[in-house]
């Protein structure tokens, strides 16, 4: 078994985990981060992408709101290129009139959220599809974030500061030492799910940043943490019906926010307690509810084309949690020091919070780590931009602009989201990549209207060629032998990927070693299944037409149901499967 | 700009299933790499457009000629050409419009100016020095087939002069002649009046102005809206009186009917009244024929006639009515062109950077005409700029089908283009 010695082991490659790794590495600590899948496989990659102004919590949770606005302003600098400056509206619909709007305004003022009431006419001029019956509009500095890019950029920043990032490494056990009175977590045994190798990682401090899996991980140390997994379902529309974040000005509830996110807009969410973080089933009523609620803010919303639906899990934590209602739980961060709580040393859990406050959560965590390690090192993340931030905020047209300026029209692989061949080749070389789904997170492959209809086979072909030429390796190690360079700052930019890393590749003779972990048929099947999972809950109207065409391409033309290597599976194959058994209600409908 | 309409152009991008059929049929994408195709610049690029972005994201949409082959072949009904027209308007509103495009959009003004001293205007424009200068200074291609001002007076002059001879009848029709007939080709108007009167209709020619299409194509939506509103004001009483407004320029009639109200979001009752009253001449004549009202006292016309239906007919969605009616003429051997576009696409082919593209697009049509053999003396097409392009590309004269029809009635000399 391999053995790594480190000061800090971070478990979880979401926003929080990468943030902790980044912060700790900047403070000069030796850090290893492990993630069981790709970065942002969990909740960080499955939310609506709101950069909170804090407005949503201004009335009920002023502490959470204050954290949001402070972090909002910091991330706009440190992660500038991961954010679109959309601004945000809180709109008062006829049914929402009452005391709340004034409370909202006062709440924003109390915690310092810039909040300006603007004339309805101006709001309608800026967002012409908005319900004209709204009576008041408040503008706040909400934004839209690319949480995939942000976690990757944060990980790169951590790695540049010396951290080691191990994706597709699953914790199989925590290393427990000491007796009944001085138990401590001394690291973890991790399993490389790609190569099958196990590694013992010994650490002075282990951080549980496992998000929705926090409870499960803590249980490995014999600690009980009541994490309430609260499922939120989101629905993405085919194009941006609004270019500003639109919130209902009322107590947060289901389907009251529309977030423009790159080329789509996302409505969210539901809030349903679930027993397990995976698998998540999207119920028909959830989709219906989202569209009905969307229709109230943007009349006609429910008739627009729906692209897909997905669900994420909020890792809600409350010590004295009793009510059973997810929305009542505070959204402020929770740092659990298990030495103080349960007498288990060397082990911290960071949970609660939200994407917008991930940096603050990391700061609090690493402050505590330093205290435990007996060292005093100030946090510098608030003033240290991650690689790529110099690009400034992204804007919806930036890819089209770059494609046009550099005349890359004929290079497109994913036509919907304007992904060029070189972007794919470089993404495969610049950070660990196992599946096309990883590529989706890296460069937005397959996220557009055709949902992979035209790019899946193209991207598979490209990776297959790279594999054969030895210019891409499926190798999740992060050491000298690693092919991946961890350069993700410009992955999203067609104009900055004019030259392929693959072209400059020098044959290192390692290509043959990893053949088993890559198979083009599996790559294709996995991604088709992954996309299928997201469109099934919304399969009607225009997206049904689209899927019919996709079906003809893959089933009739390519006969993918009868490709060889059927028995192969990747670590994520199972995740892409979903339960298609009809519910009792659905059966009754038939 | 113009994002308020929920059920029309903008949201039609949601219909796209990315099948690429439009791109494979697009006549422009087939001949130049400068145009990445209708899907790319239309529903695909539309998802990346938004008002007030740091930069105008795209420019290749400017190479869309607006021929609407894409709309016709789209299996799901995306209004691609209209999406493109709007995108161009957005670019114009953000970046301004070149003087050339402003001029090309003001066909009516140019017509009026040249009409003052047409001989001099023709000389001034149609000499190689001026054309080289126009290309250098403004980017109007020196070889492109610009029209000649009528030296025989405008259509309006003629109509006024001959008022006493005009047929009076209970059956009345309103004639929308358009700018080209007014200033460049008054003989088309004369042939039309002859055909109307032969069928017992009194022709009314109320004041009217440019339909605004050249401005729509060049992205000047504000000016186009003014023109359309003026036409509504001038024509409304006739529409409300239940009279048909019939035009001989397929593009003008399309603009009155659909393009202007749709692109400009002009959906008032008055605009709708104009939409409902407007007919293309052959659409109207075919209707008369179907009702048994069209005179068919045609003389024998022994001729081989290659006919090219202009692109605008696609958007009219009326089939090829000129074919249907000309087919009634004994002896005529009509050869239907299936070429996608003549290339000129209104003002597109006049632009220096697009001239060769337009000629390459038109090659399909020019070759078709050449293939019809040496007996062919002329071609036919309903749209003026298409006819000019056809003449430019084939060296054969080209006629409006209404001229053919007038000749078949024995009222018109096809060669000299004058009433008998």
Gap between the Cα atoms of A545 and B21, Å rounded: 15
pLDDT beyond 60 at B311: yes
Gap between the Cα atoms of B329 and B306, Å rounded: 15
For residues A422 and A538, membership in a common domain is answered with yes
State residue A513's pLDDT score: 44
Q: What is the pLDDT of residues A425-468, one digit of tens each?
A: 999 999 999 999 999 999 999 999 999 999 999 999 999 999 88
Tell me which chain A residue has its CA closest to the CA of residue B48. Answer: A397
pLDDT band at residue A475 using 50, 70 and 90 as cut-offs = confident
Tell me which chain A residue has its CA closest to the CA of residue B55. Answer: A401
- Structural domain including B43 reads 10-95
Q: What is the pLDDT of residues B221-231, one digit of tens each?
A: 999 999 999 99
- Cα angle for residues A75, A79, A80 (degrees, 5° grid): 95
pLDDT beyond 90 at B32: yes
Contact B33 A404 (CB under 8 A): no
Looking at beta carbons, which residues of chain A come within 8 Å of B45?
400
B343 falls within a domain: yes
State residue A449's pLDDT score: 97
Give the CATH number for residue A11. 3.50.50.60
Residue ending a domain, among A383, A405, A426, is: A383
Give the CATH number for residue A118. 3.30.9.10
Structural domains in chain B (count): 2
Give the CATH number for residue B65. 1.10.1060.10
Nearest Cβ partner for B48 among A129, A400, A449 = A400
B42 falls within a domain: yes
Q: What is the pLDDT of residues A118-176, one digit of tens each?
A: 999 999 999 999 999 999 999 999 999 999 999 999 999 999 999 999 999 999 999 99
A570 falls within a domain: yes
And the tokens for B278? 């407007």
Q: What is the pLDDT of residues B216-263, one digit of tens each?
A: 999 999 999 999 999 999 999 999 999 999 999 999 999 999 999 999
Contact A404 B58 (CB under 8 A): yes
A346 falls within a domain: yes
pLDDT beyond 60 at B1: no
Q: What is the pLDDT of residues B319-362, one digit of tens each?
A: 999 999 999 999 999 999 999 999 999 899 999 999 999 999 99
ipTM: 0.93
What average pLDDT does chain B have? 93
Sign of CA dihedral A88, A92, A93, A99: positive
Residue ending a domain, among A274, A290, A314, is: A314
Q: For residue A567, count CB atoms less than 10 angstroms from its CB and return exposed for 0-12, middle for 13-18, buried for 19 or more.
A: exposed
B16 falls within a domain: yes
State residue A317's pLDDT score: 82
pLDDT band at residue A328 using 50, 70 and 90 as cut-offs = low
| Least confidently predicted of A88-92, A542-546, B31-35, B96-100 | B96-100
Which residues of B188-342 form beta strands (DSSP E)? 202-204, 245-247, 278-280, 303-308, 332-336
Percent of chain B with pLDDT over 70: 98
Q: For residue B44, count CB atoms less than 10 angstroms from its CB and return exposed for 0-12, middle for 13-18, buried for 19 or more.
A: buried
For residues A460 and A526, membership in a common domain is answered with yes
Tell me which chain B residue has its CA closest to the CA of residue A409. Answer: B36
Structural domains in chain A (count): 3
A335 falls within a domain: yes
- DSSP per-residue letters across B245-267: EEES-HHHHHIIIIIHHHHTT--
Q: What is the pLDDT of residues B74-91, one digit of tens each?
A: 999 999 999 999 999 988
Residue ending a domain, among B51, B69, B95, is: B95
Percent of chain A with pLDDT over 90: 80
B12-22 core/surface letters (b: 16 or more CB in 10 A; e: else): bbbbbbbbebb
Residue ending a domain, among A265, A282, A314, is: A314
For residues A137 and A262, membership in a common domain is answered with yes
For residues A420 and A502, membership in a common domain is answered with yes
pLDDT band at residue B198 using 50, 70 and 90 as cut-offs = very high
B267 falls within a domain: no
- Cα angle for residues B157, B162, B168 (degrees, 5° grid): 125
Looking at beta carbons, which residues of chain A come within 8 Å of B84?
none
Picking from A159, A446, A450, A378, the residue whose alpha carbon sits closest to that of residue B76 is: A450
What average pLDDT does chain A have? 92
Mean predicted confidence (pLDDT) in A96-102: 95
Percent of chain A with pLDDT over 70: 94
State residue A346's pLDDT score: 97
pLDDT band at residue A509 using 50, 70 and 90 as cut-offs = very low
Looking at beta carbons, which residues of chain A come within 8 Å of B55?
397, 401
Gap between the Cα atoms of B112 and B150, Å rounded: 11
**Which residue bears the tokens 């961890």?**
A486
Question: For residue A503, how many C-alpha atoms fall within 13 Å in the half-sphere facing its CB?
Answer: 8
Gap between the Cα atoms of A520 and B22, Å rounded: 31
Contact B50 A238 (CB under 8 A): no
Q: Which residues pair with B418 in a beta bridge?
A: B413
Residue scoring higher pLDDT (B280 or A230): B280
pLDDT band at residue A506 using 50, 70 and 90 as cut-offs = low
State residue A510's pLDDT score: 46
Looking at beta carbons, which residues of chain B come within 8 Å of A453?
17-18
B5 falls within a domain: no
And the tokens for A468? 């054969």
| Mode of pairing for the β-strands spanning A2-11 and A31-34 | parallel
Looking at beta carbons, which residues of chain B come within 8 Å of A450?
17-18
A391 falls within a domain: no
State residue A319's pLDDT score: 67
Distance (Å) from the alpha carbon of B22 to chain A's nearest alpha carbon? 14
Write phi, then psi, for A314 (nearest 5 degrees).
-75, 130
A55 falls within a domain: no
- DSSP per-residue letters across B78-143: --HHHHHHHHHHHHHHHH---HHHHHHTTHHHHHHHHHHSHHHHHHHHSSHHHHHHIIIII-B-TT
Gap between the Cα atoms of A445 and A38, Å rounded: 15
CB atoms within 10 A of CB A434: 23
Question: Using DSSP, how many helices (H) and how many strands (E) does chain A show?
Answer: 17, 22
pLDDT beyond 80 at A511: no
In total, chain A counts a number of residues equal to: 590
Nearest Cβ partner for A243 among B36, B45, B50 = B50
Picking from A4, A256, A21, the residue whose alpha carbon sits closest to that of residue A131 is: A256
A66 falls within a domain: no
And the tokens for A58? 């201004």
Using a CB–CB cut-off of 8 Å, the residues of A that contact B are 128-129, 238-240, 243, 263-264, 299-300, 304-305, 395-401, 404, 409-410, 415-416, 418, 448-450, 453-454, 542, 545-546, 549
State residue A321's pLDDT score: 46
Mean predicted confidence (pLDDT) in A283-301: 96
A172 preceded by a cis bond (ω within 30 of 0)? no
For residues A90 and A212, membership in a common domain is answered with no
pLDDT band at residue B3 using 50, 70 and 90 as cut-offs = very low
The distance from CA A330 to its chain's CA centroid, rounded to whole angstroms, is 21
For residues A243 and A294, membership in a common domain is answered with yes
Give the CATH number for residue B409. 3.40.50
Alpha helix segments (H runs only) across A433-572: 436-443, 455-469, 520-535, 541-551
B341 falls within a domain: yes
Tell me which chain A residue has its CA closest to the CA of residue B45. Answer: A400
State residue A505's pLDDT score: 54
Residues 6+ apart with CB under 8 A from B201: B167, B169, B171, B172, B173
pLDDT beyond 50 at B2: no
Distance (Å) from the alpha carbon of A281 to chain B's nearest alpha carbon? 26
For residues A498 and A374, membership in a common domain is answered with no
Looking at beta carbons, which residues of chain A come within 8 Å of B4?
128-129
Mean predicted confidence (pLDDT) in B186-206: 97
Contact B11 A448 (CB under 8 A): no
Alpha helix segments (H runs only) across A321-382: 338-342, 358-373
Gap between the Cα atoms of B246 and B254, Å rounded: 11
Picking from B205, B188, B174, B184, the residue whose alpha carbon sits closest to that of residue B107 is: B184
Gap between the Cα atoms of A244 and A134, Å rounded: 15
Distance (Å) from the alpha carbon of B92 to chain A's nearest alpha carbon? 16
Residue ending a domain, among B36, B69, B95, is: B95
Tell me which chain A residue has its CA closest to the CA of residue B46. Answer: A239
State residue A325's pLDDT score: 59
Alpha helix segments (H runs only) across A62-146: 62-78, 100-111, 120-126
> What is the layout of strands, in order, in the sheet containing B332-336?
B332-336, B303-308, B379-381, B398-399
A69 falls within a domain: no
Looking at beta carbons, which residues of chain A come within 8 Å of B19?
549
pLDDT beyond 50 at A336: yes
A52 falls within a domain: no
- Structural domain including A457 reads 397-584
**Left (φ > 0), alpha (ψ -120 to 50) or beta: where does B417 sit?**
left
| Least confidently predicted of A38-52, A234-248, B1-15, B299-313 | B1-15
State residue B95's pLDDT score: 87
């Amino acid at each position: 078994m391999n053995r790594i010695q480190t000061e800090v082991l971070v478990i979880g490659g979401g926003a929080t985990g990468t943030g902790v790794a980044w912060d700790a590495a900047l403070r000069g600590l030796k850090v290893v981060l492990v993630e069981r899948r790709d970065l942002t496989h969990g909740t960080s990659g499955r939310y609506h992408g709101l950069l909170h102004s804090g407005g949503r919590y201004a009335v009920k949770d002023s502490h959470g709101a204050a954290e949001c606005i402070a972090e909002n302003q910091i991330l706009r600098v440190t992660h500038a290129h991961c954010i679109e400056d959309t601004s945000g509206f809180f709109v008062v619909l006829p049914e929402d009139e009452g005391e709340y709007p004034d409370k909202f305004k006062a709440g924003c003022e109390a915690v310092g959220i810039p909040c300006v009431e603007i004339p309805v006419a101006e709001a309608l001029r800026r967002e012409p599809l908005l319900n004209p019956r709204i009576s008041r509009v408040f503008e706040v500095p909400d934004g839209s974030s690319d949480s995939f890019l942000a976690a990757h950029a944060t990980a790169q920043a951590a790695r540049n500061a010396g951290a080691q990032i191990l994706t597709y490494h699953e914790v199989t056990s925590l290393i427990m030492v000491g007796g009944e009175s001085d138990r401590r977590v001394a690291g973890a045994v991790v399993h490389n799910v790609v190569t099958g190798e196990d590694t013992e990682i010994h650490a002075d401090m282990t951080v549980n940043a496992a998000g929705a899996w926090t409870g499960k991980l803590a249980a490995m140390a014999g600690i009980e943490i009541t994490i309430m997994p609260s499922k939120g379902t989101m629905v993405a529309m085919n194009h941006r019906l609004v270019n500003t974040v639109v919130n209902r000005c009322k107590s947060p509830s289901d389907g009251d926010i529309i977030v423009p996110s790159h080329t789509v807009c996302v409505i969210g969410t539901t809030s349903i307690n679930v027993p397990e973080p995976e698998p998540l089933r999207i119920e028909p009523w959830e989709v219906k509810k989202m569209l009905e609620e969307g229709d109230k803010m943007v009349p006609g919303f429910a008739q627009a084309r729906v692209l897909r639906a997905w669900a994420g899990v909020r890792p809600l934590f409350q010590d004295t949690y009793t009510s059973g209602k997810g929305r009542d739980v505070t959204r402020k961060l929770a740092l659990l020091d298990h030495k103080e709580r349960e007498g288990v040393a060397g082990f911290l859990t960071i949970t609660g919070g939200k994407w917008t406050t991930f940096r603050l959560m990391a700061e609090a965590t690493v402050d505590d780590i330093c205290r435990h390690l007996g060292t005093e090192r100030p946090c510098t993340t608030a003033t240290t931009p991650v690689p790529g931030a110099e690009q400034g905020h992204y804007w919806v047209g930036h890819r089209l602009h770059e494609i046009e300026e550099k005349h890359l029209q004929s290079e497109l692989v994913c036509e919907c989201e304007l992904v060029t061949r070189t972007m794919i080749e470089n993404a495969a070389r610049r950070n660990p990549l196992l599946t096309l789904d990883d590529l989706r997170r890296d460069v937005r492959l397959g996220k557009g209207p055709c949902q992979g209809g035209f790019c899946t086979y193209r991207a598979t072909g490209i990776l297959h060629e790279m594999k054969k030429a030895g210019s891409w390796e499926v190798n999740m190690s992060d050491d000298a032998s690693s092919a991946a360079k961890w350069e993700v700052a410009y992955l999203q930019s067609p104009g900055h990927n004019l030259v392929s890393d693959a072209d400059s590749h020098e044959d290192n003779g390692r290509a043959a070693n990893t053949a088993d972990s890559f198979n083009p048929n599996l790559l294709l099947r996995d991604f088709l299944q992954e996309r299928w999972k997201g469109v099934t809950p919304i399969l009607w109207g225009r997206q049904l037409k689209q899927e019919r065409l996709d079906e003809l391409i893959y089933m009739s033309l390519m006969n993918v149901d009868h490709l060889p290597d059927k028995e192969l599976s990747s670590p994520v194959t199972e995740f892409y499967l979903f339960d298609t058994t009809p519910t009792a209600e659905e059966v009754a409908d038939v | 700009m113009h994002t308020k309409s929920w059920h029309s152009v903008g949201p039609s991008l949601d219909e796209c299933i990315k099948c690429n059929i439009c791109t494979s049929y697009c006549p422009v994408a087939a001949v130049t790499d400068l145009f990445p195709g209708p899907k790319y610049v239309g529903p695909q690029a539309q998802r990346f457009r938004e008002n007030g972005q740091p930069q105008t994201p795209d420019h290749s949409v400017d190479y869309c000629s607006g021929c609407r082959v894409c709309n016709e072949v789209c299996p799901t009904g995306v209004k691609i050409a209209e999406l493109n027209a709007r995108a161009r308007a957005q670019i114009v509103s953000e970046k301004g419009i070149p003087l050339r495009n402003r001029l090309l959009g003001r066909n009516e003004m140019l017509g009026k100016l040249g009409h003052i001293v047409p001989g001099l205007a023709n000389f001034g424009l149609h000499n190689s020095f001026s054309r080289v200068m126009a290309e250098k200074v403004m980017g109007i291609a020196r070889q492109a087939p610009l029209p000649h001002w009528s030296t025989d007076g405008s259509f309006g002059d003629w109509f006024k002069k001959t008022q006493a001879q005009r047929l009076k009848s209970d059956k009345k029709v309103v004639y929308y002649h358009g700018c080209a007939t007014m200033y460049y080709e008054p003989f088309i108007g004369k042939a039309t009046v002859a055909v109307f009167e032969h069928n017992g209709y009194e022709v009314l020619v109320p004041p009217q102005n440019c339909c605004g299409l050249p401005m729509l194509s060049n992205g000047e939506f504000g000016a186009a809206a003014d023109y359309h509103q003026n036409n509504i004001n001038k024509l409304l009483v006739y529409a409300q009186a239940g009279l048909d407004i019939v035009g001989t320029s397929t593009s003008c009639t399309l603009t009155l009917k659909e393009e202007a109200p749709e692109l400009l979001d002009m959906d008032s009752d008055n605009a709708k009244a104009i939409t409902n009253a407007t007919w293309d001449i052959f659409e109207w004549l075919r209707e008369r024929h179907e009702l048994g009202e069209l005179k068919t006292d045609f003389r024998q016309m022994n001729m081989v006639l290659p006919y090219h239906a202009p692109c605008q007919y696609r958007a009219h969605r009326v089939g090829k009515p000129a074919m249907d009616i000309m087919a009634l003429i004994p002896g005529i051997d009509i050869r239907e062109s299936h070429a996608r576009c003549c290339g000129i696409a209104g003002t597109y082919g006049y632009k220096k950077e697009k001239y060769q593209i337009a000629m390459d697009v038109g090659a399909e049509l020019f070759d078709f005409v050449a293939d019809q053999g040496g007996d062919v003396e002329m071609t036919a097409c309903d749209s003026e700029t298409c006819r000019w392009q056809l003449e430019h590309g084939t060296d054969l004269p080209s006629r409006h089908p209404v001229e053919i029809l007038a000749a078949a009635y024995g009222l018109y000399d096809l060669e000299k283009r004058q009433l008998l």
